[in-house]
Amino acid sequence: MQLPTMPSFSLKGRSALVVGASSGIGTACAVALAEHGAKVTVAARRKEKLEILVDQMKKRNYEVQNLVLDINNVEETKEIISCHSPYDILVNSAGIAKHSASKDTVLEDYDIVMNTNLRGAYFLTQSVSKKLISSKKAGSLINISSQMGLVGGQERAVYCASKHAVEGFTKAMAIELGVHNIRVNTICPTFILTEMTQKTFEVPEKRNWIESKIKIGRIGNVEDIMGAVVYLASDASSLVTGSSLLVDGGWTAG
């Protein structure tokens, strides 16, 4: 009897681009990939924060460099990606939220959210995939979506719309890119305590509502995403594409 061999979670020899890496989930993803051997390029709009992150990661002997990138500028993003060597792994954690009741949504907030969460994410994923195809390389492309890409949420109509759309193009791209051995997936977190969500948690009734919906009984931390991103980036998930990996404490199960 020949026993099966466990696929590797090692990312040694692979390059990863983590966008939105200057804080929160993006930072956690960058650290997780570097910890497992990837050469990581951390990208975001805020150069100063990237430099601090790179300095901290190098103290752990991670192989890391920074890249100032604003995915809202689609043409510039395309140019930057085309001028770099192909990235084996993409993690797009760039995102923004403008919460309000749907009846109170204003056009400016709608455009801000959609430009980053959907338009920027779409063309970033496209750009990285095109570089992989032209280089005849396999890859794993991961968009940080949300549980709100699968369900609705109060005061989150625009955010939900953007994340539902991310789920849609992820599945469509996965179908098209599979022939090139390029996988496309999403990670869908529940509410994670970050700089962006801090204000929500400071409102007692909102925090109580969130905690009542999470079956595990606690809010999420950025560390909860780290295992998921390593799994999807590695050979351990080589047959996983077009999927949504929920890290939601059971929120959507109910």
The total of structural domains in the chain comes to 1
**What global pTM score does this model have?**
0.95
pLDDT value at 254 more than 90: no
Residue 205 to residues 189, 202, 208, 211, Cα–Cα distance (Å):
21, 9, 5, 10
Asked, for residue 66, whether it belongs to a domain, the answer is yes
Catalytic residue among 62, 87, 122, 159, which?
A: 159
Q: Burial-class residue 14 by CB neighbours within 10 Å (0-12, 13-18, 19+).
A: buried
Asked, for residue 6, whether it belongs to a domain, the answer is no
Asked, for residue 252, whether it belongs to a domain, the answer is no
Tell me, what's the pLDDT at 157? 96
Q: String of b and e for 132-164 (b: at least 16 CB within 10 Å)? A: bbeeeebbbbbbbbbbbbbbebebbbbbbbbbb
Instruction: Please write the tens of the pLDDT for every residue from 82-104.
Output: 999 999 999 999 999 888 999 99
Asked, for residue 4, whether it belongs to a domain, the answer is no
Asked, for residue 220, whether it belongs to a domain, the answer is yes
pLDDT value at 106 more than 90: yes
Asked, for residue 3, whether it belongs to a domain, the answer is no
Asked, for residue 221, whether it belongs to a domain, the answer is yes
Supply the CATH number for residue 106's domain: 3.40.50.720
| Known active-site residue 159 | yes
Print the domain residue range for 227.
15-245
Cα-based torsion angle of the residue sequence 160, 162, 164, 169 in order, rounded to the nearest 10 degrees: -170
Asked, for residue 1, whether it belongs to a domain, the answer is no
pLDDT value at 180 more than 90: yes
DSSP characters over 85-128: PPPSEEEE-------B-GGG--HHHHHHHHIIIIIIHHHHHHHH
